[in-house]
Amino acid sequence: MIPQRLEACLRGVIPEAILQKRTRRKDGRCHLVLDYRDEHLLARMGIVCDALGPKLVAFMWDETSADEIGGYLVVDNLAMGAPSMGGIRMLAAITPADIHNLARGMTLKNAAAQLPFGGGKAGILADPTGSPEQHTRVIRGFARLLRRYRPLYVPGPDVGSNDADMKTIAVENGLDAAVSKPAEMGGNRIDELGAAAGGVVIALERLIDLMPRLTVLSQFAQLKMPAPDEVTVLIQGFGAVGAHAARLLRERLPAARVVGISDVEGHLFCPAGLPVEDLFALWKQYGQVTGRFFGERIQSGGPRRSVQYSTDTNNLLRESAFCFVPAAPVFNYLGVLPSEKCSMSVERMGAWSLIVEGANTYSPDPNRKAARTRMEQVVYRQKGVMIATDYLVNSGGVIFAAQEQILPTPPELRIPEAMLGNHAAVEVWLREHATGFARLSEKRLEAGAVYREKAIRRNMTELVDLLASNADLLPSQAAERISVRRLAERESERTAKDIMEPMPMVPVDTPLTQVAALIVQGRGNIIAVLDGDERLVGVVTTWDITRAVAEGTCEGSLEAIMTKRIISAGPAARIPDIVRELEQNRISAMPVVEEGRVLGMVSSDLLAQRYLPQLLRAQDATAGNRPTRS
């Protein structure tokens, strides 16, 4: 059945006529897709369309299931390549705007890492703390809903979902239909290895070398870098990212000390350094750490009496250290205005030199961006605290996951199509191919480690160089510039096949009245006409039908009124060439054709709304970098 919150969202925003007309139903699975042409409806949901996206917002549900199964998918941008990639978040209360914010973060994160994938995110409206059996049923049902979007989106785990859920999706839809799968499927064990946390530590290590470059800025003129044994770190959120960050810090910077951590139960602080190995073991066993450590090591009078404990988790941010790592799912870890919901105000924060963001903090929401700007104006510009923006830092997880697409599953290890959905049979098949999957997993793991090291170090270098060269830039602005620059560069290389939309098609013997009804029902004004071999022989536009009405030839054949002189684009046509054809021939749309077969269509609306702004920015940037002649 449709989740109650999803139904309330749809009926509260979308008129009933549009809901009924545009919902597609098959075998109980229902889909409603909005895109840039539905800007007014998306705005009512809190989604602001801009030059980057979103490409589509899909609402999906299973109306025949006894469980509530449904949610959202946002494919934000495909400039870096298709499919998009991003996690599935499962929460009882999550909105389309929440998923859009996360998808935009993935657009920027994938671009910053120069991964050949767009940004996307999915949300399931369900309680993640339900019974394991119900959880599996919901994931399995949602996987079937996602199947139709396979060319556009590949999911990974996020809040409320995990690697085991990606295995469930892979059994339903195929091994390459999900990432961050278990090693038995050739996956990279992202959660187990702390792939995202590794990026945080690499960033910290690189910034220790790079931060002296910032002394050209007035707020960093007195910057003093610590010796290796003076590097101290606070970690807000000792979870999947924070706990692994502490562990990996001990491996890469053994002289550094983690002096404070927090979780939902409270925070621990010790200037001499916390016992990271003990805390990590507690986290692996129990999940929550601070309260248990207090009871077993402090309250009992054990050897750790120098460790301070507080039930106020946010007071960790009042302590001082060289580096602060926000790794809890909190957008505003620091706030300026009293009205802002934040972990700590900037007036009460501890003395830090560096913030490396392990948690996802980016949002395209104008109000949140304004709050972020206010925070950085105080923390970065006035207090002289360097901030490494989240999506430049914590992309280790998606980098490792992406290797499962960059190094695709070889044919001999792909689950037979007839076996998909049969979990018992797939388990047997996986065991039979265990050796091959173990080798594939190791190969992907090695590739991910190399890629992550290179990408994070490059991001930190570009970030520091941008900030050092422009005193007016804030860290979040510099980070966005890095990602948008990569998107614009890739956008200028795209072709008709990359950007085309589906084109409605009809046989040449279709009655004209049916063709007119098809145009009225849809949102386009052009339809491809095919012969008996399904090859393009003409197009019918609203102008052709209007002319037929004016000339009284509506009762004639479709062939008699259609436009036979077809102006089309090949799949490899570049965007400037497409624009030139549309303008020179004074048409608003044209089919994309290969060997007589219609692949899709491109239109002036599509180009103007979704692609031209990025392309023009890329051209302006290129022109601005050219030397001028006197």
pLDDT tens figures, 73-99:
999 999 899 999 999 999 999 999 999
Whether 582 shows a pLDDT value over 70: the answer reads yes
Whether 623 shows a pLDDT value over 60: the answer reads no
Whether 443 shows a pLDDT value over 90: the answer reads yes
pLDDT at 626: 38
How many Cβ atoms are within 10 Å of 20's Cβ, its own excluded? 10
Question: What is the per-residue pLDDT across 301-330, written as a single tens digit (0 to 9) for each?
Answer: 655 558 999 999 999 999 999 999 999 988
Nearest to 72 by CA among 46, 20, 119, 33: 33
609 or 25, which is more confident: 25
Q: How confident is the model at residue 611 (pLDDT cuts 50, 70, 90)?
A: low
303 or 15, which is more confident: 15
Question: What is the per-residue pLDDT across 39-54, written as a single tens digit (0 to 9) for each?
Answer: 999 999 999 888 788 9
Whether 19 shows a pLDDT value over 50: the answer reads yes
Question: What is the per-residue pLDDT across 360-394, written as a single tens digit (0 to 9) for each?
Answer: 888 888 888 999 999 999 999 999 999 999 999 99
Question: What is the per-residue pLDDT across 236-285, written as a single tens digit (0 to 9) for each?
Answer: 999 989 999 999 999 999 999 999 999 999 999 999 999 999 999 999 99
- By DSSP bridging, strand 29-34 and strand 323-326 are unpaired
Would 195-263+271-283+312-394+454-486 and 497-612 be classified into the same CATH topology? no
Whether 605 shows a pLDDT value over 80: the answer reads no
pLDDT at 622: 43
How far apart CA 97 and CA 34 sit, in angstroms, is 13
How far apart CA 432 and CA 185 sit, in angstroms, is 12
How far apart CA 212 and CA 207 sit, in angstroms, is 9
Q: Which of 88-92, 137-141, 160-164, 222-226 has the lowest mean pLDDT?
A: 160-164
Q: Which two tokens stand for residue 235?
A: 């970690």
CB–CB of 42/57 below 8 Å? yes
Mean pLDDT of the residues in the chain: 90
pLDDT at 159: 85
Whether 612 shows a pLDDT value over 80: the answer reads no
pLDDT at 609: 59
251, with CB counted inside 10 A (0-12, 13-18, 19+), is exposed
CB–CB of 399/452 below 8 Å? yes
Q: Which of 112-126, 148-162, 315-329, 546-560 has the lowest mean pLDDT?
A: 546-560
What would the mean pLDDT of 220-240 be, rounded to a whole number? 95
If residue 451 lies in a helix (H) or strand (E), which one and from where to where?
helix 434-469
Q: How confident is the model at residue 628 (pLDDT cuts 50, 70, 90)?
A: very low
Question: What is the per-residue pLDDT across 508-552, written as a single tens digit (0 to 9) for each?
Answer: 998 888 888 888 776 568 899 999 899 999 999 888 888 887 887
What would the mean pLDDT of 103-113 be, rounded to a whole number? 94
Instruction: Identify the CATH number of the domain defined by range 4-185+397-452.
Output: 3.40.50.10860
Domain parsing of the chain, residue ranges: 4-185+397-452, 195-263+271-283+312-394+454-486, 497-612
Residues with Cβ within 8 Å of 151's Cβ and at least 6 positions away in sequence, in order, are: 82, 83
DSSP summary character for residue 181: -
Whether 615 shows a pLDDT value over 50: the answer reads no
pTM of the model: 0.82
Residue type present at position 228: P
CATH class given for the domain over 195-263+271-283+312-394+454-486: alpha beta
Sheet holding 232-236, edge to edge: 308-310, 266-269, 257-263, 232-236, 323-326, 354-356, 386-388
For residue 439, CA distances in Å to 120, 408, 414 come to 29, 13, 14
Alpha helices in 385-433 (DSSP H): 390-393, 396-406, 423-432
554 or 71, which is more confident: 71
What would the mean pLDDT of 342-351 be, rounded to a whole number? 95
Nearest to 600 by CA among 524, 520, 509, 489: 524
pLDDT at 128: 86
Out of 3.90.1150.10, 3.10.580.10, 3.40.1110.10, 1.10.3720.10, the CATH code matching 497-612 is 3.10.580.10
Whether 436 shows a pLDDT value over 50: the answer reads yes
Q: How confident is the model at residue 295 (pLDDT cuts 50, 70, 90)?
A: confident
pLDDT at 514: 83
How far apart CA 372 and CA 361 sit, in angstroms, is 9
413, with CB counted inside 10 A (0-12, 13-18, 19+), is middle
For the chain, the first-to-last Cα distance in angstroms comes to 70
Residues with Cβ within 8 Å of 339's Cβ and at least 6 positions away in sequence, in order, are: none
Among 107-121, 476-490, 497-511, top mean pLDDT goes to 107-121
* Percent of the chain whose predicted confidence (pLDDT) is above 70: 94
Phi-psi region of 194 (alpha: psi -120 to 50; beta: other; left: phi over 0): left
Whether 503 shows a pLDDT value over 50: the answer reads yes
pLDDT at 113: 95
